[in-house]
Structure 1
Amino acid sequence: MRFQLCALLANGLMLSTSHYTYSQEGCQKDQRCTMVVYSEQTDKWQIINKSRAERAFSPFSTYKIPNTLILLEEQKIDTKTSYKVDTHAYPVQKWWPSVWQSDDIKVKDAFSYSVLPLYQMWTNSLNKPEIKTYLSQFNYGNQDINGPLDEFWLNSSLQISAMEQIEFLRRLDEKTLGLSKQTYQTFDAIFLKQSTSEYQLYAKTGTGPIAKKTYLGWYVGKIENAQGTHYFAFNMHAPSFKEMVNVRVDKAHATLKALKII
């Protein structure tokens, strides 16, 4: 199961780096998706499919947001060092993208390209009491890390809803997670996905199987534009991994466009 899941995640990375388009239909009422947007300056919530927005799911790679914060705070990683996967602990698989096999992986690339075995190595340098303390401090999802130390965020014990993702991102921006100033500043640069003359996009994807012929896809983050800061959390179901990674980001962006955020 571990290698199958990793393969799906890796393949998804290669498919999801295409240019964003808005031809994809956005999330609609009663579809198997949700979008939550909170606009800070206007104190406005926009929610599509509220009951689903309140339903908790595995965070998959969106867990790299709190995980990176913990690792930075504990000084397990830094942005100047180059890293490589320990292939004795995590043997190279034929489906690994080339970036996973590099001897010169920076933290921002590990985050952006979801270098799972590297994050698993880093997480193994922590222990469950440490992680539990941080997730309680963050009030992140159900805070349940009873699953394997290097997999509890991969369709295992840790669960979080779209509404909870928003609240966590707001606490992150408000710097009320109990972390150092340096950690917040460093992570901000890691989280930045795209900067244009009209907006700055901070985002993280996450995808994986949760049941037979059922895949979950996440897209969470924030957009800063002339109207202020807009936090968003999107998730959807798809019957196949290929279908998921072909549409998840486009569908989320189309929804944000329909809600007049971008």
Structure 2
Amino acid sequence: MVCYRPLSQLLLPVLLVLGGPVATAQRILQRNFQPYFEAHELRGSFLLLDVSANQYTAYDLPRCRQGFLPASTFKIPNTLIGLETAAVRDTAEVFRWDGRVRSFAQWNQDMTLARALRVSCVPCYQQLARRIGAGRYQHWLPKLRFGRMVVTPTTIDSFWLVGQSRITQFEQINFLRRLQREQLPVSRRSQELTKTLLVLSRGPGWVMRGKTGWTMQQGHDNGWFVGWVEQGRKIYFFALNVEPKHAGPVTAKFVQGRRAVTEQILRQEFGLLSQ
């Protein structure tokens, strides 16, 4: 196993607001994780919050503070709002395929909300968005504090994929931390159901929850992987954002690299996800 050592480390004191009106002093340790990205022909940034140590670890800190379209990471708040407003009854409700054949074959079928999140079915969540409507989004999104979403009646089923909506990696972690603690201003049921859908893998003494995302705009691809690991009594939140290194056509290294890079960093640098 190759373990990349950091080229530089720097502790920065910061003042952040996490999940409430009380500001908490936290540290940011900057690390160089570039070799992990290079191995998958990616460039990007990585952010991790170790809750027990009250410390962030960041690779490319300025980029971690840069806003990007949320892509399918928006399926997390979208699920919460859908459940809370009864736009969807529960995670077993079926979304009917509209018959239009799309390039992602797994989308070309009827599926439950649970499966729609698992295979990141954009058409299913576009159906849900139209049920929710712009007015209810404009009511709920400020309450959830999920970045800066810009939604209008004309962009109701696309505002998380194109347009002016933005969220940073710090904001992703802030939101996920409040969800993990069930401190969002929605019912406990909505939060519990959503957290169950986010489970990706388990191992001895740990569980990982998360969601990927991918936007494609005029040849520019941007990808996410956000979530958290519960290992023993400790919790680690992560947010990765990447682009193809040479801005060329997307390959399997981009598609698979979002999760692969994250898991390699978590295992080799933080000792998480042990088999």
**TMscore range, shorter length:** 0.7 to 0.9
* 1:183 aligns with one of 177, 184, 190: 190
Determine the structure 1 residue equivalent to 2:78.
Answer: 67
Runs of 5+ consecutive residues of structure 1 not aligned to the other structure = 1-23
* 1:81 aligns with one of 57, 77, 93: 93
Deviation of residue 143 (structure 1)? 2.7
TM-score, structure 2 normalization: 0.78
Structure with higher Rg: it is 2
Deviation of residue 42 (structure 1)? 1.8
CA contact (8 A) 1:27 1:35 kept: no
Deviation of residue 50 (structure 1)? 0.3
Of stretches 153-162 and 59-68 in structure 1, the one that deviates more from structure 2 is 153-162
Deviations 1:138-195 (A, max 9, x none): 1111132246110000032211011110111111123222111111111121111112
CA contact (8 A) 2:92 2:114 kept: no
The alignment of Structure 1 onto Structure 2 pairs a total of residues equal to: 230
SS for the counterpart of 1:206 is strand
Q: Does 1:165 align with 2:175?
A: no
Point out which structure has higher relative CO (alpha carbons under 8 A, 6+ apart): 1
Determine the structure 1 residue equivalent to 2:163.
Answer: 156
Determine the structure 1 residue equivalent to 2:136.
Answer: 130
Corresponding letter in the other structure for 2:226: V
Of stretches 54-63 and 242-251 in structure 1, the one that deviates more from structure 2 is 242-251
Q: Quick one: distance in 2 between partners of 1:211 and 1:254?
A: 30
Determine the structure 2 residue equivalent to 1:232.
Answer: 238
SS for the counterpart of 1:127 is helix
Aligned CA-pair RMSD? 2.0
Q: Quick one: distance in 2 between partners of 1:96 and 1:246?
A: 15
SS for the counterpart of 2:66 is coil
Q: Greater strand share, 1 or 2? A: 2
1:1-262 aligned within 5 A: 25-27=35-37, 32-77=43-88, 78-85=90-97, 87=98, 91-97=99-105, 99-103=106-110, 105-146=111-152, 148-212=155-219, 214-226=220-232, 228-238=234-244, 239=247, 240-242=249-251, 243-262=253-272
SS for the counterpart of 1:122 is helix
SS for the counterpart of 1:151 is coil
| Closer, same or farther: CA 64–204 of 1 in aligned 2, 3 Å | same
Q: Quick one: distance in 1 between partners of 2:271 and 2:120?
A: 26
Q: Quick one: distance in 2 between partners of 1:208 and 1:171?
A: 25
Q: Quick one: distance in 2 between partners of 1:261 and 1:151?
A: 38
